[in-house]
Amino acid sequence: MDKQENILRIAVVSLPKNEFHYTIVGTLIVTKYLKDNCKNIKVHLIDNTFDDAFNDTKNFNPHIIGLSTFTQSYSEAINFAKKIKKELPNAKLIIGGPHMTTFPESLDPIFDFGVIGEGERTFVELIEAIRTKKSVHKIKGIVYFKNKKLIMNKKREDLADIDDLFPLDYTLLNKGYFKKNFIPDSFRFGVSIGMMTSIGCPFNCRFCSIRACWKKIRFRKIDSVVDEIKDLYYNYKVRHIDLFDDLFSINKERLKEFREKLREAGLLGKIIFSCQARANTINDEMCSILKSLNVKTLVFGFESGSDKVLRYIKKDSQLSAEANKNAIILCKKYNLGVYGSLMVGIPGERLEDLDKTLEFIDFAKKLGVKRLWTQVLVPLPSTEMWEIAKSRGKIDEHFYDNISNHYHKENPLLLDPDIPVEEFIKKYKLAKKKCRQFVYITLIRTILYHPSSIFYFSKESLNYIKGFISFVKQ
């Protein structure tokens, strides 16, 4: 602690490097909350996308280091903590995020504390306990070791009003986020940022850990959302906002209010939006509302072309491949772009189900879907898929070393044992090849709109050019 000012230095570190420069909203929320609610601190958000996380943390010489991690990056967080502890042996290491919330028992001894659930209030209380050297046994929502025994305190209740966390303070972000980049939604270049208008999801898919993190969906007040957009538009020249809500297309009346507030602020139509949607929330009225908001792209979790697999994995009998196709058709009618994700390697999935997914990809291409991507299902803690993987002996002490690879095509963890892996890999590779075509079609359209963009793609990655040439040859 700085002796003259009695200032506690706190580093909030975001480790994942994000090639698409999506805002890491969680660590930004935490940093802003600490800044607003802790006295006599100097808090610094260190983001590995633009910063050198290790060296910048070491040079800042913090008393407390906070990390947030997904299960996919937990191994990376442990390695970072071990490395930084050698340089800063007196620093307290605190880890939170979705992984700690869904699997607190996995806390590595390198960390002084793990934070379970929403960590903002917990982090503030931990900082004061560390500062004053008081006991932490009454602090809700933490896990830690005492005499080599894992102690888990009572859970903390979720915030009743998430507007306490917003609007965000974008001065805390690295300025690299506000440089012009390619925006696929509009085939143009500009400043793009991500933000949230709600937290949580009302559905409960078997593979998703969102419900384990947040029990219900909570909405921000529209006035708060619009104030944040004003800040982004006027002070940061943002012209595209990716709405990170787990499901934006859930409440028609709220979206109508959002539209009117944007109109009153003189911003309606001046910002392009993209958002996440679900097929059974899409109809003519919803498409009309989204179109009027200047939403250009909707992202769907299509997951499978098989009704049986789709209904199983999403626990929703109303869903079907036909419903997904109808959603695409409706979006095309309203000139709304469509992105979508697909999964394979799902319990109960047969080779003929994979063929139906391949057929769905072909349908999506014919209808002009902008982008599809495919990955092998990987189990996450506190999900039904995790329990199935455990029962099959797929999860061991080396699990975290391998989960960062989303594809797992050589070792699909949840593929039923009676499915030939060689045949699965063939169909999976074919699905990947088909999905790759969407990227190259987007490249062609972008270059046609803006010929100079070819220099951007070649600068960003030679793989763009190599893949594009290969696609043209085919």
Q: Assign residue 190 the CATH number of its domain.
A: 3.80.30.20
- pLDDT tens for 216-271 read 899 999 999 999 999 999 999 999 999 999 999 999 999 999 999 999 999 999 99
Is 411 among the domain residues?
A: yes
Task: Give the pLDDT of residue 472.
Answer: 46
Last residue of a domain, one of 152, 172, 199: 152
Is 108 among the domain residues?
A: yes
- Residue 383 domain boundaries: 180-473
Same domain, yes or no, for 438 and 342?
A: yes
- pLDDT tens for 11-58 read 999 998 776 677 889 999 999 999 999 999 999 999 999 999 999 999
Q: What percent of the chain has pLDDT over 90?
A: 79
Nearest to 168 by CA among 271, 43, 27: 27
Task: Give the pLDDT of residue 250.
Answer: 94
- pLDDT tens for 179-193 read 988 787 777 788 999
pTM over 0.75: yes
Nearest to 310 by CA among 299, 297, 323, 298: 323
- pLDDT tens for 362-393 read 999 999 999 999 999 999 999 999 999 999 99
- pLDDT tens for 112-131 read 999 999 999 999 999 999 99
Same domain, yes or no, for 355 and 274?
A: yes
Is 451 among the domain residues?
A: yes
Q: What percent of the chain has pLDDT over 70?
A: 92
Task: Give the pLDDT of residue 456.
Answer: 64
Same domain, yes or no, for 185 and 132?
A: no
In this prediction, residues 320-348 reach a mean pLDDT of 97
Of the two residues 200 and 453, the one the predictor is more confident about is: 200
In this prediction, residues 99-109 reach a mean pLDDT of 96
Task: Give the pLDDT of residue 182.
Answer: 78
Is 168 among the domain residues?
A: no
pLDDT band at 108 (very low <50, low <70, confident <90, very high): very high
Domain count, the chain: 2
Take residue 275 and report the two structure tokens written for it.
């958002």
Same domain, yes or no, for 281 and 358?
A: yes
Last residue of a domain, one of 136, 152, 168: 152
In this prediction, residues 339-352 reach a mean pLDDT of 97
